[in-house]
Amino acid sequence: MCGIVGYIGKDQNIKMGLDALRRLEYRGYDSAGAAWYNQNQKEIFCLKKTGRIDNLEKAISESNLNLTGNPFIFHTRWATHGGVTDQNAHPHFDCKKDIYLAHNGIIENYQELKEKLIKEGHQFVSQCDTEVVPHLIEKYFQGNLEEAVRKALKEIRGTYGIAVISKKDPGKIVAARLSSPLLLGINQNQVLVASDPAAVITHTRQIINLDDNEIAVLKPENFFILKEKPIVQIEWTQEEAQKGGYKHFMQKEIMEAPETIKNAIRGRLLPNEGQVRLGGLNTVSNKLREIDRISLIACGTASYAARVGEYMLEEYAGIPSEFDVASEFRYRKPVVDKKTAAIFISQSGETADTLGALREMKQKGILTIGITNEVGSTQSRETDAGIYTRSGPEIAVASTKALIGQLVTLAMLTVYLGRQRDMALVMGNRIVTELEKLPELANEVLKQGPEIEKLVEKYKDYNNFWFIGRKYNYPIALEGALKLKEISYLHAEGIAAGELKHGPLALVDENFPTVALCPSDSVYEKMVSHVQQIKARNGKVIAIATQGNEDIKKIADDVIYIPKTLEMLTPILSVIPLQFFAYYMAILRGCDVDKPRNLAKSVTVE
């Protein structure tokens, strides 16, 4: 993890910065650097070296540079983009070497920014993503450093904690943060900025933690903080929100499953480390390490994602987890404590019941994490931290691709939390590698759309359906039933397959078909016996099974195949045929697919 130390004030000896930087050595790094402003020469000097801080200290001592002056900034780098070289170490600077900057975090869109800046005539000297930032500041600099920083940061996507100095506006350090922790250390006539309290504690115990989108301007005699209200950028183009050539929004959104998975995982998978990068959790990463229970809370389709998440987190992160629908959770007396984290899942981020449960947890001081699709939604602003699913606009009332995005995000969160605990690198790598394959696997399932349309013809005269599943696919059975009833107005019920013989089997006969989720997983044999129980009562069975399983054809009336994947990821594929089944049934029955009667897209009332 990189470390930042900056100082402005009465102490003119830059060696003080080295001592502060050494207190960040525990964070791990591969190079170190410093830049300082010398008032006499009105110049910024900069030295940076790979290896230990000792190498930097040696370079400073052996240089014939004037070692007095401030503001100064020091940095330890832990390479993410660009090899371990002196040029790639921080601080980075602009073309004219007027502006020097140290950065923690990742500039996700640095490639496109770099290409644009090079076209505008900027020269780059490193392979580091950070280097685009001083050039962007240079582009906007018209005499006021914080104004130039403010404009530059608007073009950046990613995470940052930065400290910037300039010889053209020398009496200050400008600091800013988005997801990467940054704090100010306040002492009379001197101000420090650092990525970690350890760097400032010998100078002051008065600190201010910067919040996301805040820009601080530090001067010897004072400081001030600009709060940037983030301009919420709706990334969706007009045509994206149109139907894109499909008959209905719902059809378009089912077909967007592969893109939805790609968007959810983009820039977040680290297969070699068996890890994921979830920048939105950086500020609560240490708190998440401490939790020993998780509550998952949501409504409707999102609640079925939550149920799948419960299985994932228990099996692969080893964290006791409990799901509940928000409308029930907030009126229960849930037993929670400071080591509980509450995860709220909502496509819209505006569902009243979910927000009610969120506020209930916040007033108990419980750590709240949000998973939502809508940037800037109420949920995203009120949770302590969160993860955007990036699924794009979901217009149809029936939620389809949003569920896919939620399930992928929960799988990534499982790796994130599991790897904080005893999930081995190889397991993390297996899940992450399988996630990378999912867009293509989803594509294979989508190709069966026409087959499923034909299958619906065969079942269009039935008025009642069971949906049955076990373990990871039990929530998907519930979701399949919800999809069918909410857009075709047919009676459909999802149950845990093991419950069949405890009553529901009484309803099974030739007029009451069943959709059975039977992927080749740890409970496949159990599912086969449930299918046989139904067949023994003349019930018809549509099985969702794993490609290559020929046996299932001997007992089920119809089979829809999905590709093999990890058991915990099967729901992401097995739900797609059920979405198609509901979609084509609703069309056959002349229902308003995108706007089913009595329902709203976002239930903002209790």
- Binding site residues, ligand AGP, CB under 6 A: 299-302, 346-348, 351, 354, 397-399, 486, 602-603
Choose the catalytic residue: 2, 46, 128, 591: 2
Q: 420 or 602, CB closer to ligand AGP? A: 602
- Spatial distance between the Cα atoms of 451 and 458, rounded to a whole number of angstroms: 11
Contacts 24+ apart (CB under 8 A), 134-141: 134/92, 134/93, 134/94, 134/99, 134/100, 134/101, 134/164, 135/94, 135/95, 137/94, 137/99, 137/101, 137/164, 137/166, 138/94, 138/95, 138/96, 138/98, 138/99, 141/98, 141/99, 141/166, 141/168, 141/169
Q: Please confirm, yes or no, whether 518 is among the known catalytic residues.
A: no
Q: Which residue is nearest to ligand AGP (CB)?
A: 300
Q: 48 or 401, CB closer to ligand AGP? A: 401
Tell me how far, at minimum, the Cβ of 446 lies from ligand AGP, in Å: 19
Beta strands in 351-482 (DSSP E): 367-372, 385-388, 464-469
Tell me how far, at minimum, the Cβ of 576 lies from ligand AGP, in Å: 14
Q: 351 or 414, CB closer to ligand AGP? A: 351
Q: 395 or 505, CB closer to ligand AGP? A: 395
Tell me how far, at minimum, the Cβ of 557 lies from ligand AGP, in Å: 27
Three-class secondary structure of residue 549 per DSSP: coil
Tell me how far, at minimum, the Cβ of 223 lies from ligand AGP, in Å: 41
- C-alpha 563 chain-centroid distance: 25
- Spatial distance between the Cα atoms of 315 and 292, rounded to a whole number of angstroms: 14
Match 């229960």 to its residue by tokens. Answer: 332
CB-based contact 568:472 (threshold 8 Å):
yes
CB-based contact 82:38 (threshold 8 Å):
no
Q: 195 or 399, CB closer to ligand AGP? A: 399
Tell me how far, at minimum, the Cβ of 329 lies from ligand AGP, in Å: 13
Q: Please confirm, yes or no, whether 299 is among the known catalytic residues.
A: no
Beta strands in 39-139 (DSSP E): 43-50, 72-77, 92-93, 99-104
Q: 192 or 254, CB closer to ligand AGP? A: 254
480 has which bridge partners? none
The phi-psi region of residue 135 (left if phi > 0; otherwise alpha if psi is between -120 and 50; otherwise beta) is: alpha
Side chain identity, residue 232: V
What are the residues whose beta carbons fall under 8 Å from the beta carbon of 93, sequence distance 6 or more? 35, 46, 99, 100, 101, 134
Q: 104 or 351, CB closer to ligand AGP? A: 351
Q: 122 or 401, CB closer to ligand AGP? A: 401
DSSP output for 79-90: -SSS-S-TTTSS
Tell me how far, at minimum, the Cβ of 241 lies from ligand AGP, in Å: 16
Tell me how far, at minimum, the Cβ of 344 lies from ligand AGP, in Å: 9
- Spatial distance between the Cα atoms of 48 and 89, rounded to a whole number of angstroms: 6
Side chain identity, residue 99: I
Positive or negative CA dihedral for 410, 416, 422, 426?
positive
Q: 25 or 328, CB closer to ligand AGP? A: 328
- Spatial distance between the Cα atoms of 257 and 451, rounded to a whole number of angstroms: 18
Q: Is-cis flag, bond preceding 91, omega within 30?
A: yes
Tell me how far, at minimum, the Cβ of 532 lies from ligand AGP, in Å: 32
Question: End-to-end distance of the chain based on CA atoms, in angstroms?
Answer: 44
Tell me how far, at minimum, the Cβ of 409 lies from ligand AGP, in Å: 13
For 100, 104, 121, 182, 451, the CA distances from 515, given in Å and listed in that order, are: 63, 51, 62, 53, 15
For 277, 280, 343, the CA distances from 429, given in Å and listed in that order, are: 13, 21, 24
Residues assigned a catalytic role: 2, 601
